[in-house]
Structure 1
């Protein structure tokens, strides 16, 4: 029995052209009736697709029609059904962010890669970090701080000199962005079950914004971050090119 494939594409012309070509060749089913969803674009579009199809049981297989494409497979119009049948599957659990703002409103969001807090004014941010209810750093003066999942550890976390985490490590990375004081503090490794509270010590003078996979919240006073094991994203990769292999390979380039 042929696989029922649903194609989703970013607005980029290259992705739209790929969707048209693949749909003609393999058919295009509704996402709620598909066996697999094929996302065409870059990593940003892959994250959007995973968030959008969160309640859909079909796994998502990405093909790169964007730029970096770390979460994507190589693009080809040929042999797609065979590639999907043989693909490896990885389950990703997102982070949950609850951000409270100066106006008293609370914003909740999920992040597959990372939750970050970044200064939004000319002065460095002053942050206080607690883990599981215990203050671990009374004051961090920095451009920001982030909590990253293993899947997101090669993204912004890696650019901020955070560690690459093995996909099955059950660990989160807490990483400083351009730390000024303590100047040499680069971050910490936390168990996946940890609950992190990051407070802004001077929100009016030194405003801070929070982001969860590019969903932004401005003028935050504090942010709670924790893993959300009840939500599972199924992601597919070509045989021999799974996410675990990619994370290991990334450390030797």
Structure 2
């Protein structure tokens, strides 16, 4: 990367992010994402995920600054010293999950998830699910509000709120976590190798409909969902050395 890289600034609609966009483009110029060397996302974690989904296929590093509610994937916002911060930033490579969902209409819908893929009941009726790992049934029936599969980067988000484990970055694992399980009562989920193929079969889709969400992309009335780690897609996030992602994930395990 050059000492003065071309930066594409992308901002959420929040007033603070829009103000920062004006300030930073006045200092560093305005470049389109496909012309830039670095993408700079201004907002919260939701906007960072939006940026990764929209521009991640370009393979360009993303440096985020927090101008939103949640900023686990972001650096602190400062208008000064941005070039030096980017030059000294530590990279964190993330590999998303690939989700393929078969719906009642017969359509197969694919999406990526950098945080998690979650299956949730659509009505007051609990979901009835079967779980297969690499083609072998591991749980004949899970009765629950839902279940999710999370990446290490996403393990501190919805997964942790559902009492799932926090996974170290670079551990090559994913978390399988039930949401309000009724049966089996004592099953608390599993930590799986990242290359595991996870398949959920909806056992009673008409009486107990289920939706699936890959980050923010929702698909309703699913019959079957298959999840595996992507083999050909990675994104690189840049973090200030004093607040790198690996340290943040470790620190989350000691918050009381």
TM-score class normalised by the smaller sequence: over 0.9
Aligned partner of 1:38 in structure 2 is 40
Between 18-27 and 49-58, the greater mean CA deviation after superposition:
49-58
Is 1:221 aligned to residue 227 of structure 2?
no
CA distance in 1, matches of 2:221, 2:82: 46
Check the 8 A contact 2:100/2:109 in 1, yes or no: yes
Task: Give the gaps of 5 or more residues in structure 1.
Answer: none
| 1:175 positional shift | 0.3
- Report the TM-score when normalising by structure 1: 0.98
User: How many residues of Structure 1 are paired with residues of Structure 2 in the alignment?
Assistant: 253
Secondary structure of 2:160's partner? helix
For residues 81-135 of structure 1, what are the alpha-carbon distances to aligned partners after superposition, in whole Å with 9 as ceiling and x for unaligned?
A: 1100000001111000000011111111010011110001111100000000000
Unaligned runs of 5+ in 2: none
**2:203 counterpart residue number:** 201
Distance 2:190 2:245 in 1: 23
CA offset at residue 35 of structure 1?
1.7
Structure 1 SS opposite 2:99: strand
What CA distance in whole angstroms lies between the structure 1 residues aligned with 2:31 and 2:241?
24
1:47-75 CA distance string (max 9 Å, x none): 11011112223200000010110000000
2: CA distance, partners of 1:59 / 1:149: 19
- The C-alpha deviation readout for 1:192-223, integer Å capped at 9, x for no partner, is 11000001100000010000011000000110
1:150 to 149, 152, 168: 152
Query: Which residue of structure 2 aligns with residue 137 of structure 1?
Result: 139
| Aligned mate of 2:193, from 175, 191, 194 | 191
2:60 and 2:235 in contact (8 A); partners too = no
Is the aligned partner of 1:7 residue 2:9? yes
